[in-house]
Each structure stands twice: as C-alpha cells, then as structure tokens.
Amino acid sequence: MSGTDGLEGGQKEDPVRDIVIFSGSAHRELAERICGRLGVALSATRVTRFGNDCLQVQLHANCREADVFVIQPLSPPVHEHLMELLLMLDAARGASAARATAVIPFFSYARSDKKDAPRISIAARLVADLLVTAGATRILTMTMHAPQVHGFFNVPLDHLHALSVLAEHFKDRDLDDTVVVSPDLGRAREAAHFARLLRLPVAAGSKRRLSDRRVVIDAIIGDVDKGTAIVIDDEIATGSTVFTLLDLLRDRGVRKFAVICTHGVFGAGALDRFREQHDIAEIVTTDTVPLAPDKRLLNLHVLSVAPLLAETIRRIHEGESVSSLFTEPDQGEP
C-alpha cells in the first residue's frame, strides 16, 4: 500500500547518524521498536524525584548540535508523562541540541480543543504552548481527536494517521458483506479514507456528546444494510460512543462487528464491556499507548506504528517529504 510499503516487515533500515533519541517512562517499548527500525541506540534517561515529590530528568547522552527526538505519548497518568516530556525537552535545549522534536504518538489533550462551556480552559492550546516554551522546535503526533489542534502550535507539526496500518490488517479478507461506520460525522472523512483503502461502502453516525461518558447518536447516515460492520474511531477510552453505535447498528440488522481505533486507552471498565459483546469478532488497535497484560483480550489485536514513526523520523532528519507517505495513487492526499 502507498506510504507504508516495506515498513511492516522485520528488516532494519540503514543506521541514521547524528541523531539522538530519548524516551520517557510512558512507552519505552515503542521507543525501542522505533530505534530498532532506525538502527539507532535508545539513549538513556534518568528520572528521579526530590524529597518534595518534584520530578527531575537527566539525559545521559551528548545532545550538542544533535537532532534530538523525545518519544513520549500522553497516556495515563497523563500529567506525570506530560511533565516528564517538558523536562526532557528543556534538558535537550539546555544541552545545546540543534533541534528537539517531541514525538507524541498519543496527544490526549486534543479532546480539549474549544470553549464549549463558560469559564473553561482550552487545554490543548495551553499544552501546545507549554511544549514550545519547554524547547520543542517540532512536533510529531498521530491521529489527534480534533485535527484543528494543529493550528495551536507555532512550530512545525507533522500529523500522521494509522489508517493504512489498520487497513492492512483486513487485507485479503472476504469483505463483500461489510460496511465501514464512523460514530461521528466529524470523523467521516477518515472513515471514508479507510473504506476507500478496502474498497468498502461507508456510513456515519450523527453524534451528540452529553458528557464524557454519555453520548447520543440520533441517526446513521448511509446504507448499513450489511451483515458485518467495521466500526472505526480515533480513540477508545470509556467506549461509550462505540457501544451506543453498536446498539443502533444491531437494530438495523448488523450481526457481526470489528471495532478498530488508533489509540486503545481502554479505561474505566471498557474492556469488561467489550468482553460481554459476543458479536464483536475482533478489536484492533495500535501501540501508540501501552497496553497492560491484563487488558489483552483474546480477540484484541495490537498493530505496531513503530515502522511508520521510524520512517517519519528518518524523513524529518533527512529533510524529506512526510506528506508523501500518505498519498494514495490517483486519489491525491487524504
């Protein structure tokens, strides 16, 4: 598939030189996979606490005039990991790094993108300002909940998606009686791109969010007269949106489901609810956030985005195009 050909195999790339990569404690395994693809050693980081519980970070590699990448998804505990990232960026800047790129596979604060109630903070904008103030000269992230958050950053930002990685999982299957369904019109464009990769029809729900745990889907726009639905979302935390959509699709006659997302947070008992849904054939997510062993259901598949992130890091370092990774033949960019 365009953009990821050759990225999914086990082969290593030629070593990338004059690059230094650090990882916080959020997802060291992903950082090691990325470094393995690049042929670069993951540089050591020491995180300690003062007696008053404040964090201290020390980078154990020379950063002077180096191209530094700091890998840290903002996964739970979000604020611990955010503070670690800020301190690592500040340390890299203080060590005279030529450039410091914050690699944030999961930018969880992208859900706080607008002032939709009186006297609330637009946290995504605040976090964007904090990252730049700390020393980030570039941001690399993936599948933000609200793409307009891109505009909150006043440094270059590369916003990737995992649609090709997710679609590859379904390649060569019999999908004749399948429809792709997005729970939200706001993400219908991404669902349409995913459906196009698999040559499937697409539909979308009309969703209203009442609270963090309560949503209403008033209608489904598009034909869902199929036996199987692939329900696609960007992030699954509580699962309230997905479970509401599944009930509506069952009422429309859909008998079997696959649920896919980029960011499988799976908090607040979400996986217990998934375990009870016997018509869900499989759940597919990526490794943008770590998944504890006790969350590994038999029908849950975790796909790695390390090859895609590694190739993007290489292109940033070499000054090559990143957007061309996602250009589909004869279709233009997504």
Distance from C-alpha of 34 to C-alpha of 69, rounded to nearest angstrom: 11
What does DSSP say about strands 280-286 and 202-211: parallel, antiparallel, or unpaired?
unpaired
Distance from C-alpha of 215 to C-alpha of 198, rounded to nearest angstrom: 29
12 assigned to active site: no
User: Of the residues 207, 226, 256, 295, which is catalytic?
Assistant: 207
Q: Which two tokens mark 44?
A: 């050591």
Phi, psi of 289 (to 5 degrees): -125, 150
Phi, psi of 182 (to 5 degrees): -100, 140
**Helices then strands (H, E): number in the chain?**
8, 14
What does DSSP say about strands 202-211 and 178-182: parallel, antiparallel, or unpaired?
parallel
As a three-state string, the secondary structure of 53-65 is CCEEEEECCCCCC
Around 210, how many Cα atoms within 13 Å sit in the side-chain half-sphere? 9
For the annotated catalytic residues, the residue numbers are 207
